[in-house]
């Protein structure tokens, strides 16, 4: 068992890290990015003391997570076109803006 990378956790980048391990059933675990007194943190600290670093290679995941949430929240195209036909473009824009507001870009 050994650490092969440590990244910032995409869902809570300022407070958590994700430690990737090899040769283990659970290939990673999530920890606070500060000393929590655990054995896992001691292993992380040894990794850092030995020249390892916490990378930011998961940044793309954090930066694009909103895309799937938005895509799933938008109504189907048929319903959107029906909304425009019956209620006008401004009503459609309001519906679309509500989805964008609920799932903003980072």
- pLDDT higher at 17 or 62: 17
List pLDDT tens digits, range 38-72: 888 888 888 889 898 888 887 887 788 889 899 99
Q: Which two tokens stand for residue 55?
A: 């990378």
- CA distances (Å), origin 45, targets 7, 13, 15, 32, 48: 14, 18, 16, 12, 5
Kindly state whether residues 53 and 87 are assigned to the same domain: no
pLDDT at residue 24, as a whole number:
66
> Per mean pLDDT, which range of 20-29, 32-41, 88-97 is the poorest?
20-29
Say whether pLDDT at 28 is over 70.
yes
Kindly state whether residues 72 and 46 are assigned to the same domain: no
Kindly state whether residues 15 and 37 are assigned to the same domain: yes
Kindly state whether residues 50 and 9 are assigned to the same domain: yes
- CA distances (Å), origin 87, targets 3, 82, 84, 95: 57, 8, 5, 11
pLDDT at residue 34, as a whole number:
85
List pLDDT tens digits, range 77-95: 999 999 999 999 999 999 9
- pLDDT higher at 101 or 6: 101
pLDDT at residue 26, as a whole number:
67
CB count within 10 Å of CB 77 equals 8
Kindly state whether residues 48 and 79 are assigned to the same domain: no
Kindly state whether residues 50 and 73 are assigned to the same domain: no
Q: Record the pTM.
A: 0.53
Structural domain range at position 24: 2-57
């Amino acid at each position: 068992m050994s650490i092969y990378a440590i990244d910032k956790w995409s869902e809570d980048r300022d407070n958590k890290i994700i430690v990737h391990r090899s040769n283990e059933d659970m290939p990673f675990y999530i920890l606070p990015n500060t000393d929590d007194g655990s054995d896992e943190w001691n292993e992380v600290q040894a990794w850092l003391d030995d020249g390892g670093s916490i990378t930011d290679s998961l940044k793309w995941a954090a930066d694009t997570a909103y895309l799937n949430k938005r895509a799933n929240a938008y109504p189907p195209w048929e319903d959107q076109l029906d909304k425009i036909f019956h209620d006008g473009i401004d009503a459609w824009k309001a519906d679309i803006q509500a989805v964008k507001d609920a799932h903003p870009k980072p």
